Copies of this chain bind each other. A is one copy, B any other.
């Protein structure tokens, strides 16, 4: 699915890490939300409040999942899941274009 149809989009971006990470919230008819985000080069720690499915749409990122000691490299089209109430780390060398789905 290359586009989301019949959705609402909140105009203003969500801004994190001084703007190095930004995202837009997409609201679906059933009330669920996803965010479409973009990361600059850097290393970022994210704390989850819900289960998340993170899909890399473009660029590249390395991920350190909770409880793991080895970073994993992902390329466009690949995704991973994280539980609620955990932290995970993301390392970006060029940029990362992503979609985050809340799967609770």
Contacts and interface: CB of A to CB of B under 8 A. Distances in A.
Interface of A: 1-13, 15, 18-20, 22, 24, 26-27, 36, 38, 40, 57-59, 94-95, 97, 99
Given A3-B27, A19-B38, A38-B19, A13 B94 contact: no
A95 B15 contact: yes
A26 B4 CA distance: 10
A85 B24 CA distance: 29
B3 A11 contact: yes
A90 B1 CA distance: 34
10 contacts: A2-B11, A2-B12, A6-B7, A11-B99, A15-B58, A15-B95, A18-B95, A19-B94, A22-B95, A24-B36
Given A18-B95, A97-B22, A11 B38 contact: no
Contact of A15 (B9, B12, B20, B97): B97
